[in-house]
Structure 1
């Protein structure tokens, strides 16, 4: 599936790393400087709160971690304890995990989520040092835009199977995409109550719905922060059903490429061999963004690792090794 992509990466001196059973090189250095114990945080916002997990020291500026769409902060539970950093703050993006849902009538907007990053970084915590951003999938879309809008305020950007190629609107489809999203939002808001299941039924539904992009064990970890127990003993997903829709505020292809040229920080782009990048038009656009980023930032690199879209959750050790090398 990735033959054309591999050829592209060889032409542009992009490192291709294929791990098998987590083996590439041995390391005798400890990977658990971050404490296993973490603290739950709540950041007040006008519609409720933004939840998160703070790992490690609380007297330092942490790595800011952002998850993928329909996931939550638990997506980093296996990876974070292996990182050689002092602290990590993994947020639940609004509508996900234990964060509050937006009120009815206020749809989710891509740029609103980027604005939330700005609020957390500069207005709530008032961090002043350049940020290290760790992100997966949709979270990488957010970090990508933030790194481009505030290039002087991001020192390192770690992207795990970024889905930005899925986020731009194809030329000529902007209006139809907006209409489709608007109509679906109104339909979803007629009933925001999610379906009920037994725990086993919910787990099976989530696993099958991900179509091989995550293991069943990975689904269990996501459900540890992604479900609610009802009075009758059944369970349901805690995320807002509206997050399944295409968010407003998505970028055009032209904007995506221009933003790529504004990123100046060191970037580690990890692509899953069996992830979300395919040999289609959007995959070609993704390759263009990678090429631009590498050209502007000599210390940046793009690597391909064996695994699925959630490789950081299903097989975290090789991912952690690459990240720790990058952070040196």
Structure 2
């Protein structure tokens, strides 16, 4: 299934993306993870029924705009982006599917947008990673120091070919298959002279200057009023993250999945689609 390329201008930024399915189907906004892009939903799209899947390159990723120099990539800015995107698309109601960072943005948006969000489907991500209050000063100091070093210039990775970049991405922090890597890399790179380099904003690698406390982070998940479902890699890091809070999150339906962090792309695509189709058509 070939996607339709889309462009969404919210005034202060331009967002690119890909869209699949019936333009009059139920709108399902898809938000990818950190350093991925809209193409991460391409394997899933052909298996979905009755939905208009709208995958967005989040700010600084894929082919979307980078943030202005004075604006950082704190998680709440992505939530603000989403709120403006759905307004621009004139969507009175919609559902969300998010992977990793995209899942966190989906939870936070669901908590503040209320009845406009009908259903949320989370893939290996739930609430913002909390930080102990006493760690805040050191975290801010680290951010300021690294941002200072960044302004002096850091080398950008360049590759002699797309295939070289594909092989490197296969072995990233969250490894993926060659086919999945090719999808992500093709959308994330551009040719610069005789080499290929990332479109991705390198500032995405800066540490977060501040984070929510544990109770603040959990409040977003607790205050979702929509139908909520979470699929997670049962051998991954998210399982341990959510285990202490299951009683507080009893309104969320949990589905342990085999595979790695990108199970929706690699190995479990059909199983994920089965859950999405059941949720979206119930």
When normalised by structure 2's length, the TM-score is 0.91
The aligned runs of 1:50-65 (5 Å cut-off) are 50-60=15-25, 62-65=27-30
Checking the alignment, whether the CA contact within 8 Å between 1:93 and 1:99 is kept in structure 2 is: yes
CA 1:319–1:104 in 2, change beyond 3 Å: closer, same or farther? same
Q: Say which SS state the counterpart of residue 72 (structure 2) adopts.
A: coil
Checking the alignment, whether the CA contact within 8 Å between 2:122 and 2:230 is kept in structure 1 is: yes
Give the whole-Å Cα distance in 1 for the aligned partners of 2:154 and 2:16: 21
Residue 175 of structure 1 deviates from its aligned partner by 1.8
Pick from 234, 238, 244: which aligns with 1:277? 238
| Partner residue, 1:307 | 259
Residue 46 of structure 1 deviates from its aligned partner by 4.5
The aligned runs of 1:21-100 (5 Å cut-off) are 36-60=1-25, 62-100=27-65
The aligned runs of 1:106-255 (5 Å cut-off) are 106-122=71-87, 124-129=88-93, 131-162=94-125, 164=127, 167-191=129-153, 194-198=156-160, 199-210=162-173, 212=175, 214-232=176-194, 234-248=195-209, 250-255=211-216
| Partner residue, 1:26 | none
Checking the alignment, whether the CA contact within 8 Å between 2:79 and 2:108 is kept in structure 1 is: yes
Residue 289 of structure 1 deviates from its aligned partner by 4.3
The alignment of Structure 1 onto Structure 2 pairs a total of residues equal to: 279
Cα displacement string for residues 258-300 of structure 1 (whole angstroms, at most 9, x for unaligned residues): 2222112111100112333264xxx2xx234443232xx3xx4
Give the whole-Å Cα distance in 2 for the aligned partners of 1:222 and 1:102: 21
Q: Say which SS state the counterpart of residue 307 (structure 1) adopts.
A: coil
CA 1:306–1:120 in 2, change beyond 3 Å: closer, same or farther? same
Q: Which has the larger radius of gyration?
A: 1
Instruction: Name stretches of at least 5 consecutive residues in structure 1 with no aligned partner.
Output: 1-35
Checking the alignment, whether the CA contact within 8 Å between 2:26 and 2:50 is kept in structure 1 is: no
CA 1:195–1:188 in 2, change beyond 3 Å: closer, same or farther? same
Give the whole-Å Cα distance in 1 for the aligned partners of 2:101 and 2:206: 13
- When the two chains are superposed, the root-mean-square deviation of aligned CA atoms in Å is 2.0
Cα displacement string for residues 21-44 of structure 1 (whole angstroms, at most 9, x for unaligned residues): xxxxxxxxxxxxxxx232111112
Checking the alignment, whether the CA contact within 8 Å between 1:47 and 1:103 is kept in structure 2 is: no
Cα displacement string for residues 152-198 of structure 1 (whole angstroms, at most 9, x for unaligned residues): 22111100000536x22234212211221232223223326622112
Cα displacement string for residues 121-145 of structure 1 (whole angstroms, at most 9, x for unaligned residues): 12x122112x210110000010111
Give the whole-Å Cα distance in 2 for the aligned partners of 1:181 and 1:85: 44
Give the whole-Å Cα distance in 1 for the aligned partners of 2:270 and 2:257: 12
Cα displacement string for residues 35-87 of structure 1 (whole angstroms, at most 9, x for unaligned residues): x2321111124454111112123345520000000000010000111111331
Structure ranking higher on relative contact order (CA contacts 8 Å, 6+ apart)? 1
Instruction: Name stretches of at least 5 consecutive residues in structure 2 with no aligned partner.
Output: none
